[in-house]
Amino acid sequence: MKKITQITDYEKTIFSCKMRNDQVATHDVYSLGTGKKVVILIQELPGIGQETLALADRFVANGFTVVMPHLFGPLGKTAVVGNLVRVLCMKREFKLFAKNESSPIVDYLAGLCSFIKDKHQVKGIAVIGMCLTGNFAISLMANEAVLAGFASQPSLAVLSQASLHMSAQEISAVQQKLDTVGAMHCGRFEKDTMCTAKKFELLDKTFNTAENQRIIFHEMPGRGHAILTLDFVDKEGHPTHKALNDVLEYFDGQLIG
C-alpha cells in the first residue's frame, strides 16, 4: 500500500473572510501538489483523517493541486462524536438544522474559492463537499471561480431529508451557473440513511427538468456513506472506484477541456 502523505508535508497558510452575519471566519488552509488543475476538498464530519489524506494523494497523482481548509477537529485522524460537538458549538459558522438557507461558512468557502483561483492563475477550480459539507459543494457552484463540483452524500439539513440547505436565491444562482458551465455531479449509497433517496429526489426535482439536467446523480449499492473516503475501495471495478474515476474525468473536462 502506498504511503499516505501526512498533513505535516502540506503547505500551510491562513485564510480569513467575512460571512453574511458580519462575523469573520479564520481557518488554516493546507495545500499539496503543483498541478494546474485545482480542487478544494472540503472535509466531512469525521475530519481530515487518513482516508481524506489518501483521497488528496489520489488527486495529486492525477495532476491536481489539492487545497483543504481545516474547519474543525484534530488532524490526521477521525473523531466523529467529538467533531459533531465542535460543529454544534460553531454556531456562527454552521447551521446544521437550517432549512431553506445555507450555513454562513459557505461565504467563507466562496471567498476561499475566489482567492485560490486568483492565487493559482487558473480559469477556474473544482470543489468537493462530503457529508456535512456535501451541500456546500452545490451552493459553491454559484461562485464565479467554480467550474466543477461533486456533492458526495450531502446530508444537510440534519433531521430533514425533505428540505434543502439552500435559500431560494442560492438555488436560482446555482441553476443559472450550471446552465452556463454544465451539470455538476452528486453521489450516495442507495441505502444511506443520512443522505436518502428522498434527498436525491428533492435535488432532482429542484434542479433538473426533462430538457435540462443540471445535476448528474450516482447511486452505489450497499449501506455505505462516505463514497470517497471511509467507504472507498481502491479496487478496479468497485463502484466507489468507478465514482472517483468519473469525478476525475469530469473535473478534467471542466478544468482543462
What pTM did the predictor assign? 0.97
pLDDT at 257 over 70: no
Render pLDDT for 19-44 as a digit per residue (tens, 0 to 9): 999 999 999 999 999 999 999 999 99
pLDDT given at position 44: 97
Report the CATH number that the domain containing residue 238 is assigned in CATH: 3.40.50.1820
How big is the chain, counted in residues? 257
pLDDT given at position 1: 58
In a domain, 2, yes or no: no
In a domain, 70, yes or no: yes
Domain count, the chain: 1
Render pLDDT for 126-177 as a digit per residue (tens, 0 to 9): 999 999 999 999 999 999 999 999 999 999 998 888 899 999 999 999 999 9
Render pLDDT for 173-182 as a digit per residue (tens, 0 to 9): 999 999 999 9
Kindly state the cell numbers that stand for 168: 431560494
pLDDT given at position 196: 95
In a domain, 1, yes or no: no
The parent domain of residue 70 ranges over 7-256
